Structure 1
Amino acid sequence: MLKNLLLLNFFLVCTLVLTDTYAQRKESRLTGNSPYSALGIGDITPANAIPGDAMGGTGLTFGNGIYVNTLNPAMLVKTRFVAFSTGIRGQYRTISDGTNSQTDFGANLSHVMMAFGMKPKWTMSVGLRPHSSVEYESRYTSTIQGTTNSVQYIYKGQGGFSKATVGSGHMIGKSLYVGLEGAYYFGSISRDTTSRLLLNDGEDYYLRYSDRINANGVGLKAGFMWQQKLSSKWFLNVGGTYELQSKLKGSQLRSLTTLIEGQNGPQILKKPDTLGIASGSLVLPSQYALGISIESPLKWIFAAEYSRQDWTNYRNFQGRAESNLTAGDRISLGVEFLPKVTSTAYFDQVFYRVGFQQTKTPYLVNTTQVTDRSFTFGLSTPLGFRNLSYIDLGLSVGTRGLTGNGLVKENYFKISLGFSLIDTRWFLKTKTD
Structure 2
Amino acid sequence: MKKIIFFACLFICSHVISAQSEGLTASPYSMYGLGILNQANVGKYNALGHGGIAMPGNTGINNMNPASYASIYEKSFLFDVGFQSEYNHFANKINDESKWSFNFSNLALAFSLSKRSGIGVTLIPYTNVGYTLLGVTTNIEGSDETFESTINGTGGLNDLQINYGYMLSDKIRLGASASYLFGSIEENEFFYVGSSYFNMDETSFYQGVRLGLGFQYDILKKFTLGGTVKLPVTLDASMDRSVIKTLDGVSVTVEDEEDQSITGFKLPTEIGIGVYFSPFRGLSVNADYKRNFWSSTNQTDNIGRYEDQDIFSFGAEYMKNARSLDYIDRVQFRGGFTADNGYLSINNRKVGGYAITAGLGLPLNTNTHSMLNLSYSYGQKGQLTNVLVKENYHFITLNVSLEDLWFIRRKIE
TM-score, normalization by structure 2: 0.90
| Equivalent residue number for residue 25 of structure 2 | 31
2:114 to 108, 116, 119: 119
The alignment status of 1:163 with 2:159, answered yes or no, reads yes
Paired position in structure 1 for 2:407: 427
Question: Paired residue for 1:336, among 301, 304, 317?
Answer: 317
How is 1:198-347 mapped onto 2 (pairs within 5 angstroms)? Answer: 199=194, 203=195, 205-229=196-220, 235-259=222-246, 269-271=251-253, 273-274=255-256, 278-280=260-262, 281-295=264-278, 299-314=282-297, 321-322=300-301, 323-347=304-328
Alpha-carbon spacing, 1:138–1:171, altered in 2? closer, same or farther (3 Å):
same
Match for 1:169: what amino acid?
G
**Aligned-residue offset at 1:83:** 0.4
Matches of 2:40 and 2:379, distance apart in 1: 18
Stretch deviating more after TM superposition (126-135 or 378-387): 378-387
Residue 82 in 1 paired to residue 80 in 2? no
Amino acid at match of 1:286: T
Stretches of structure 1 that go unaligned for 5 or more consecutive residues are 262-266
SS at match of 2:383: strand
Q: 1:16 aligns to what SS in structure 2?
A: helix
One-letter code of the match for 2:66? P
Quickly say closer, same or farther: Cα 1:70–1:176, change in 2 above 3 A.
same
Distance (Å, rounded) in 2 between the aligned partners of 1:106 and 1:120: 42
Q: Residue 257 and residue 398 in structure 1: after superposition, are their counterparts in 2 closer, same or farther (change >3 A)?
A: same
Tell me the distance in 1 between the aligned counterparts of 2:82 and 2:43. Answer: 7
Query: How far is 1:12 from its partner?
Result: 2.1
Q: Is the 8 A contact 2:364 2:371 kept in 1?
A: yes
Q: Distance in 1 between matches of 2:152 and 2:245?
A: 16
Q: For the residues of structure 2 that align with 1:347 and 1:67, how far apart are their CA atoms?
A: 20
Q: Let me know the Cα RMSD of the aligned residues.
A: 2.6
Partner letter of residue 192 of structure 2? R
2:5 is aligned to 7
Q: Give the Å deviation of 1:256.
A: 2.0
Q: Which SS does the other structure have where 1:31 is aligned?
A: coil
Aligned-partner residue type, residue 52 of structure 1:
Y
Pairwise mapping of residues 135-174 of structure 1 onto structure 2 (< 5 A)?
A: 135-140=130-135, 151-174=147-170
Contact 2:93–2:388 (8 Å) recurs in 1: no
1:384 Cα deviation after fit: 2.8
Deviation at 1:373, TM superposition (A): 1.2
- The verdict on how the C-alpha distance between 1:87 and 1:260 changes in structure 2, with shifts beyond 3 A counting, is farther
Tell me the equivalent position of 1:375. 356
CA distance in 1, matches of 2:136, 2:188: 16
Aligned length: 404
Matched residue, 1:264 = none
Distance 1:7 1:403, change over 3 A: same
Does structure 1 conserve the Cα–Cα contact (< 8 Å) formed by 2:105 and 2:125? yes
Q: Say if 1:167 and 1:277 are closer, same or farther in 2 by CA, change over 3 A.
A: closer
Contact 1:39 1:325 (8 Å CA) reproduced: no
Identity %: 26
Query: Per-residue deviation at 1:414?
Result: 0.7
TM-score, normalising length from structure 1? 0.86
Partner of 1:58: 51
Change (3 A) 1:243 1:380: same
In 2, Cα distance between equivalents of 1:253 and 1:12: 29
- 8 Å CA contact 2:63–2:122 kept in 1: the answer is no
Alpha-carbon displacement from aligned partner over 1:129-160 (angstroms, at most 9, x marks no partner): 11011211112265989x9x972122322211
Partner residue, 1:196: 192
How many Å separate the matches in 1 of 2:40 and 2:245? 41
Are the counterparts in 2 of residues 47 and 70 from structure 1 also a CA contact under 8 Å?
no
Cα distance between partner residues in 2 of 1:359 and 1:21: 27
Q: 2:358–2:375: 8 Å Cα contact kept in structure 1?
A: yes
Counterpart-to-counterpart distance in 2, 1:268 and 1:185: 41
Q: Is the 8 A contact 2:24 2:129 kept in 1?
A: no
SS in 1 for 2:328: helix
Question: Relative to structure 2, which stretch is displaced further, 245-254 or 126-135?
Answer: 245-254
**Do the aligned partners of 1:93 and 1:410 also contact (CA within 8 Å) in 2?**
yes
Deviation of 1:175 after TM superposition, in Å, equals: 0.6
Q: Is the 8 A contact 1:365 1:407 kept in 2?
A: no
> After the TM superposition, which of the residue ranges 219-228 and 153-162 deviates more from structure 2?
153-162
Per-residue deviation, residues 295-337 of structure 1 (Å, max 9, x unmatched): 269722111111111223346xxxx544432221210011011
SS in structure 1 of the partner of residue 389 of structure 2? strand
In the other structure, the counterpart of 2:397 is: 416
SS of the aligned residue for 2:306 comes to coil
Which residue identity lines up with residue 39 of structure 1 in the other structure? Y
Matched to 1:218, the amino acid is V
